Amino acid sequence: MTDRISLIHERLQSALAPESIDIVDESAKHAGHAGARSGGGHFIVDIVATAFEGKNLIQRHRLVYDALGDAMQTEIHALSIRAHTPDEAKAAS
């Protein structure tokens, strides 16, 4: 399972050069439900990057999905994305 986290981490790191990435594996919570049969994991990604500046939610999520590429089809069943710019992250903390 940690392999999947490093894979997600690496791809996001190289595509978006984020200030911070936090990935939580929630797969265990969802094991066995009908939608999880394919075997992919459930993850939450909290990511702060200047790449999100001036982009709406759908554009930010697309950047993350694009960075993950084929891993979205094979390794990841579900992904919750919290994508913020450094300024937003500062305002929230």
Partner 1 sequence: MDVMDRIKETVESHPIVIFMKGTPQMPMCGYSSRTAQVLQACDVDFAHVNVLADPEIFENLPRFANWPTFPQVYVNGELIGGHDITVEMFQKGELKPLLQEAAGKAANG
Residues that bind partner 1 (CB under 8 A): 30, 33-35, 57-58, 61-62, 65, 72-73, 78-82
The residue (of 20 and 74) whose beta carbon lies closer to partner 1 is 74
Q: How far is the CB of 35 from partner 1 (least distance, A)?
A: 4
Name the residue nearer to partner 1 (CB basis): 51 or 84: 84
Strand partners, 20: 48
Q: What is the closest distance, in whole angstroms, from the C-beta atom of residue 26 to partner 1 in the complex?
A: 10
CB contact at 8 A, 27 and 83: no
CB of 66 to partner 1, least distance (A): 8
Beta strands 41-48; 76-84: pairing state = parallel
Which lies closer to partner 1 via its Cβ, residue 24 or residue 57? 57
Min separation Cβ 92 and partner 1, Å: 13
Number of other CB atoms surrounding residue 75 within 10 Å:
16
| Strands across the sheet containing 20-25 | 20-25, 41-48, 76-84
85: closest CA among 9, 20, 10, 12?
20
